[in-house]
Amino acid sequence: MERLTGLNCKEWLRNWRMVLVIVGKLHLTEYPIPVPPEQLIIKSLYDKRNLLVDESRKIRDLMLLTIDLEFRKDFESLGPYELMQSVEEKFQKPVEEERARIFKRLAECKLKEGSSIDSHVLQIEAYIGELYKLGHSMSQESSVNTLLASLTSKESVGYGTLAHRSTYGLDFRLMQF
């Protein structure tokens, strides 16, 4: 299993959920372990809770082994449920927010009259590259459509023909992503 580095949060969480389903321990991540009352009168409940705590510690320790040392200290005192919640909050939400900001900038990126088409294509490539680094890869067709949508109608006619041909093997700079 790949170590959690921050950018791979979604994949890390998905992989851990699959592993926990296989070993029958997913329930340990679905809710926090309840804090026991001052006195547990019924011994069987006390024993069940202790077993649950022991299982949770083992799962938590395994999960911690797959987290980079840089982040591990932040999660050492948590149970599996809290660990999954914290990882999601710390890593996944900021990545999703950044991805949304880049999508917005990409959608707002339009070729200005008199501007260089080359620099505009480079700007579109840069946004697509940023999205790729954040775990979102665009298909070739989506990349071309994004570029075409950002051009004025005059430029898109010429690029539309090139983009159409590029899907059949001709080189087009944007296709690298």
For residue 96, being part of any structural domain is answered with no
pLDDT of residue 117: 83
Asked whether residue 13 falls in the same domain as residue 66, the answer is: yes
For residue 155, being part of any structural domain is answered with yes
Asked whether residue 82 falls in the same domain as residue 30, the answer is: yes
For residue 98, being part of any structural domain is answered with no
pLDDT for residue 121 is more than 80: yes
For residue 75, being part of any structural domain is answered with yes
Domain that includes residue 118, residue range: 109-176
Asked whether residue 18 falls in the same domain as residue 65, the answer is: yes
Name the β-bridge partners of 67: 4
pLDDT of residue 85: 86
* pTM, two decimal places: 0.51
| Number of folded domains that form the chain | 2
Residue 114 CA to residue 122 CA, distance in Å, equals 16
| Average pLDDT, integer, range 43-64 | 83
pLDDT of residue 39: 62
